[in-house]
Amino acid sequence: MAAHMPTTFWRWILYILEHYGPSLLNGAGTTLIIALVGTFFGCVIGFLIGMIQTIPLAKSDHILKKIVLKIVWLVLYCYVEVFRGTPMMVQAVFIYYGSSYIGISMTKWFAAFFIVSINTGAYMAETVRGGILSIDVGQTEGAKAIGMNHVQTMVNVILPQALRNIMPQIGNNLIINIKDTCVLSAISVVELFFVSKSVTGTFYKFFETFTITMVMYLIMTMFFSRLLRFAEKKLEGSDSYDLATQDTLTHTSGLIRHPGKKEDTRR
Amino acid sequence: MNGEKILEIKHLSKKFGNNTVLRDIDFSVHTGDVICIIGASGSGKSTLLRCVNLLETPTSGEVLFHGEDITGRQTNVPAYRAKVGMVFQNFNLFSNMTALKNCTVGLQKVLNIKREDARQKALFYLDKVGMSPYINAKPRQLSGGQKQRVAIARALAMKPEILLFDEPTSALDPQMVGEVLSVMRTLAQEGLTMLIVTHEMAFARDVSSHVVYMNDGVICEEGSPEQIFMNPGRQETKDFLSRFRNG
């Protein structure tokens, strides 16, 4: 058998790709799914917490509302502190094995989604709060002045603007998650790092295997950083606008770029 | 005084910490009134207006809307604000929406009006303020005067019973002041009830039915525009107005 074994670095790379390429791709797929789902739910958690944290509390409010809100805030504060303040790897082991200890059996997939989501959520909560605070208070006042309540103001006016401002941070979190899902190998989630380790276990070719792993991680992160840049641009919206007018002379004045699509310009 | 009493303010006071900004304010607004509140900067005009819309919570006193005190805990504040429009010094247009969307969002989300109806209503008011060609523009693409006219259309679309203006022209270039004031003049002629904080003395004199002069957190003098501008009773009012005549 030894006679058929590759001899150079590049031959080893080809050999590993040939024999373990599909497993490595599977691992990368798992990594991506966990990172994407985790980032998505992390953002949802972050937005919810950010919204709750910015509920205005006036002196004249009912005592019960004050107490409930204060307790909720305290719980959220503890959540953020605990999950930002401990390593995700430790949390993974703690939650996965801890849950079976108290009689809840988690599948590995669920545990992986859960851990990455709440971890991202803890970071996103602060990011979203910052994003909300960065929006001029005039926007809130404008929304209140036409009769919007807190949730309507948030959903229609503040969060869309905050989202645009925190897009770079969401991108950061996604990229961090793509990389940091490797800590889930601690609870034997078969993601890219776990697969790579298994491959090295067969031939002890660490350098060759992890060269491939490095490149795969890099491709994933670079692809998503580009994609998020593009999404950011899209959120910013167009720089120009079409004049909407019934005045037919406007068409000859060159002010309208698409005279043929008059109806469209009014949308 | 024209019609029914819409708004009545009784013994209203506002403190920020130990700083008393408003002291024992009393006045009322009837349908069709155009009331201008004038006075030096820092005299509490804007705070008074913000108290009326509950953007500031009054420290004491009552704000009666159709006879009901709205400063109480049981008031549905958003529902009240939907009936009392407000136009701000800094426009406060929603920067993530087009001019049209700025006007329809309140109709759709707050008043639950259907999309197409909301659009028709919004277009009507945008046309009224002369902004219908710009319905697809975002606020950052508009000039100050254009923004303020959209803001007025946004407030009007909600069909408010009373419209509050908080120094609507103070952030505008002199040439843009005219376009906003002319819109407001038209609204006044059409009988819209308005409460306007302004530094535009000529506008206050020509358009208002009633003028309130505020000084240092109290209503120093009020009356018809003729009375306040031609024949002010108090020395403070005379001093304040003479500064405007000379400047």
Ordered by where they begin, the domains of chain A are 19-236 (1.10.3720.10)
Which residues of chain A lie closer than 8 angstroms to B93, CB-CB?
142
DSSP A134: T
> Among B181, B207, B199, B201, which Cα is nearest to B245's?
B201
pLDDT by residue for chain B (247 residues), tens only, comes to 557 899 999 999 999 988 999 999 998 999 999 999 999 888 999 999 999 999 998 999 999 999 889 888 788 899 999 999 999 999 999 999 999 999 999 999 999 999 999 999 999 999 999 998 999 999 999 999 999 999 999 999 999 999 999 999 988 888 889 989 999 999 999 999 999 999 999 999 999 999 999 999 999 999 999 999 998 989 989 999 888 775 4
| A265 vs B14: which has the higher pLDDT | B14
3-state secondary structure of A133: helix
* CA separation for the pair A136, A120 (Å, rounded): 26
Give the tokens for residue A169. 């941070």
d(CA B244, CA B234): 16
pLDDT tens profile A47-68: 999 889 888 887 767 888 889 9
Region of residue A140 (left: phi > 0; alpha: psi -120 to 50; beta: else):
alpha
Residues 6 or more apart from B238 whose CB is under 8 A from it? B232
Percent of chain A with pLDDT over 90: 43
Residue A60 with chain B: CB contacts under 8 Å: 57, 73
| b/e B67-96 (16+ beta carbons within 10 angstroms → b) | eeebbeeeeebbebbbebbbbbbbbbbbbb
Residue with tokens 């969401």: A170
Asked whether the beta carbons of A212 and A14 are under 8 A apart, the reply is no
Residue A245 in tokens: 């007018």
Closest residue on chain B to A63 (Cα): B73
Phi-psi region of B112 (alpha: psi -120 to 50; beta: other; left: phi over 0): left
Residue A252 scores a pLDDT above 70: no
Contact between chains at B138 and A62 (C-beta distance less than 8 A): no
pLDDT beyond 50 at A264: no
Residue B210, burial from CB neighbour count under 10 angstroms (0-12, 13-18, 19+): buried
Contact B95 A161 (CB under 8 A): yes
| pLDDT given for residue A249 in this prediction | 53
CB contact A165 to B (< 8 Å): no
Nearest to B92 among A58, A138, A152 (CB): A138
- Tell me what ipTM this predicted complex has: 0.89
Phi-psi region of A211 (alpha: psi -120 to 50; beta: other; left: phi over 0): alpha
Give pLDDT tens digits for A107-121: 888 999 999 999 999
Verify whether the Cβ–Cβ distance A242 to B136 is below 8 Å. yes
What is the CATH superfamily name and number for domain B30-44+76-246?
P-loop containing nucleotide triphosphate hydrolases (3.40.50.300)
Nearest to B86 among A139, A145, A164 (CB): A145
**A257 inside 8 A of chain B by CB:** no
Q: How far apart are CA B88 and CA A145, in angstroms?
A: 10
For residue A233, pLDDT over 90 is answered with no
CB contact under 8 A, B78 and A144: yes
Residue B4 confidence (pLDDT):
87
Whole-number Å distance between alpha carbons of B155 and B84 = 9
Tell me the average pLDDT across A189-201: 88
Give bridge partners of residue B86 from the DSSP assignment. B164
Neighbour order of strands in the sheet with B162-166: B84-87, B162-166, B194-197, B34-39, B210-215, B218-223
Residue type at B203 in one-letter notation: F
Residues of A in contact with B110 (CB under 8 A): 146-148, 152
Q: What's the per-residue H, E or C state across chain B?
A: CCCCEEEEEEEEEEEECCEEEEEEEEEEEECCCEEEEEECCCCCHHHHHHHHCCCCCCCEEEEEECCEECCCCCCCHHHHHHHEEEECCCCCCCCCCCHHHHHHHHHHHCCCCCHHHHHHHHHHHHHHCCCHHHCCCCHHHCCHHHHHHHHHHHHHHCCCCEEEEECCCCCCCHHHHHHHHHHHHHHHHCCCCEEEECCCHHHHHHHCCEEEEEECCEEEEEECHHHHHHCCCCHHHHHHHHHHHHC
The pLDDT score that the predictor gives to residue A221 is 93
Question: What does the domain layout of chain B look like in residue ranges?
Answer: 30-44+76-246
pLDDT band for position A3 (cuts 50, 70, 90): low
| β-strands B218-223, B210-215 pairing | antiparallel
The two structure tokens encoding residue B81:
């604000």
Q: How high is the mean pLDDT of chain A?
A: 85
Mean pLDDT in residue range A68-86: 92
Q: Do A143 and B133 touch (CB under 8 A)?
A: no
Tell me the C-alpha distance between A96 and A92, whole Å. Answer: 6
Which of B135, B154, B163 has the most A C-beta neighbours within 10 Å, making it the best mutation to test the interface with A?
B135
Asked if the Cβ–Cβ distance from A138 to B90 is below 8 Å, we say yes
Largest pairwise CA distance in chain A: 84
The CA-atom distances, in angstroms, between A37 and each of A186, B10, B185 are: 19, 56, 56
Q: Which two tokens stand for residue A70?
A: 């204060």
What are the backbone dihedrals phi and psi of residue A105, each rounded to the nearest 5 degrees, phi first? -100, 120
Distance from CA of B211 to the nearest CA of A (A): 24
In tens, the pLDDT along A133-191 reads 999 999 999 999 999 998 999 999 999 999 888 988 999 899 999 999 989 888 888 88
Which residues in chain B have Cβ-Cβ distances shorter than 8 Å to A160? 96
Angstroms from A62 CA to nearest CA on chain B? 8
* Res A129 pLDDT > 70: yes
Q: Quote the pLDDT of residue A247.
A: 54
Q: Which of A60, A144, A157 comes nearest B94 by C-beta?
A: A157
DSSP A78: H
Of B55, B82, B133, the CB nearest to A146: B82
Q: Is A85 on the interface with B (CB under 8 A)?
A: no
Residue A266 has pLDDT above 80, yes or no: no
Query: Would you tell me how many other CB atoms lie within 10 Å of the CB of residue B119?
Result: 20
CA distance B218 to B237: 12
- For residues A16 and A210, the answer to whether their CB atoms sit within 8 Å is no
- How many contacts, defined by CB atoms under 8 Å, are there between A and B? 95
Determine the Cα–Cα distance for residues A100 and A185; give it in Å rounded to an integer: 18
Among A146, A263, A265, the strongest candidate for a mutation testing the B interface, having the largest count of B CBs within 10 A, is: A146
- Do residues B20 and B44 make contact, with C-beta atoms less than 8 angstroms apart? no
Taking the C-alpha atoms of residue B35 and residue B138, their distance in angstroms, rounded to an integer, is: 32
How long a stretch of residues is chain A?
267
- Residues of B within 8 A of A147 (CB-CB) are 78-83, 106, 110-111, 158
What count of Cα atoms within 13 Å lies in the side-chain half-sphere of residue A200? 14
